[in-house]
Structures are given as C-alpha cells and as structure tokens.
Amino acid sequence: MQKSSDLFFVSSNDQKYHEAKKILNSFGIQLGFLKSNLEEIQSDSLNHIARKKARNAFSKHKKPLIIEDDGIFIDSLGGFPGPYSSYVFKTLGNKGILDLLKNKRQAKFISVITYCDDAILESFDGELCGTISKSQKGKGWGFDPIFVPNNSDKSFAETSDKNKISHRYKSLKKFSNWYLHK
C-alpha cells in the first residue's frame, strides 16, 4: 500500500478529489490533494488536455501526481460539450443543456486520468454511456443531476453506487492496476 504522501491528485475541484480518493482507497492507494488552478489548453482531445495539465502540475509541484480531465459528450449535439464541459456548465448549466435537446438524448461521460512523475507520463481512460434526462433529477454536482447511465432509471445524482460504475471509476481502476504493478 502506498503512503498518502507518495501520490497526489491535483485539481481545483474538491468533488473530483473526494471521488478519486474513495475510489483509489478501494484499491489500496492513499491519495493526497494539491489544490491548484491549472491552465487548461483548448483542444478537442481530453487526452491532450490531461497530459498537458499533468506536465504543468508536475513542473509546479515536483511530486508524483495524477490529474483528471473529463467531459460529457452528447450524441445529438455532435459530441458537444465534450472537453468544453466545464465552461458549458458554468455558462449554460444543466437547464441550458436540457433546453438544447429534443428527443435524441444519448450521451457518454469520458474520464482521462494522467499520471506524471520525473520520468513517466501515462494516461488511462474510462467511458460510461447513458442518456440525458428530460429534467434534473436529484441534487449533485456538475452534470450528475441530468446524466442517467444505461441500464438505470436514476441519474448520477440519485445513484448511491456512482463511485463503482462511473467513467471516473473505470479510468481510476485502469490507473490503479498499472500503478500498483509499475
């Protein structure tokens, strides 16, 4: 088992850190937190954004770390907002997304976890397909109140086991398997 000071999650988002910490704890990895506003380049590639943020975070903190970049990709909107999800959430919010959609509501969440230390830069992705609900369901952060995973009738905000099925869980599971055996 790793010590909490061996690996850090770098983000300005406390919610992402708490979810990542719970998930990684289930794999026996202790995670520290470095709250930091990282410059986010504009790109249509989550992987490219995550790798750039990880390099920048490592050059700033000089500690082994992971960052996450994620987005919600709505099929009927051509994958929008994708890597621009944070900006779209701040400007349009869930109500704005709901107002844009008609009957085609298929979507997916994608998460990219990138690890960086002085010698390694490695990324791991996770994807979860679902739909956008017709109204907000439950209280949660980000797009959780409007995203309903496939084979569920509950939004992420209403789901008690989100951390066992989410896109973030899937990418962190891949990372954990690699990290514990590297």
pLDDT digits (tens, 9 = 90+) for 137-177: 998 889 999 999 999 999 999 999 899 999 999 999 999 99
Question: Is the per-residue pLDDT at 3 higher than 50?
Answer: no
Are the beta carbons of 50 and 113 closer than 8 angstroms?
yes
Cis before residue 81, ω within 30 degrees of 0? yes
14-26 and 167-179 helices cross at what angle (nearest 10)? Answer: 50
Tally of CB atoms within 10 A around 178: 14
pLDDT digits (tens, 9 = 90+) for 29-60: 999 999 998 888 889 999 999 999 999 999 99
Active-site hit among 6, 14, 69, 118: 69
Q: What are phi and psi of 74, to 5 degrees?
A: -100, 120
Q: Which of 90, 93, 69, 62 is nearest to 20 (CA)?
A: 69
Tally of CB atoms within 10 A around 97: 23
Token pair of 110 as six digits: 């994608």
pLDDT of amino acid 40: 82
Structural domains counted in the chain = 1
Integer-rounded Cα radius of gyration of the chain? 16
Is 153 an active-site residue?
Answer: no
pLDDT of amino acid 5: 54
Domain that residue 165 falls in: 4-179
Question: Is the per-residue pLDDT at 4 higher than 90?
Answer: no
Q: What is the CATH number of the domain that holds 145?
A: 3.90.950.10
Q: What pairing do the DSSP bridges indicate for beta strands 121-132 and 147-149?
A: antiparallel
pLDDT digits (tens, 9 = 90+) for 71-125: 999 999 999 999 999 899 999 999 999 988 878 899 999 999 999 999 999 999 9
Report in angstroms the alpha-carbon separations of 52 from 28, 38, 40, 80. Answer: 27, 10, 8, 21
Question: Is the per-residue pLDDT at 12 higher than 60?
Answer: yes
Phi-psi bin for 140: left (phi > 0), alpha (psi -120 to 50), beta? beta
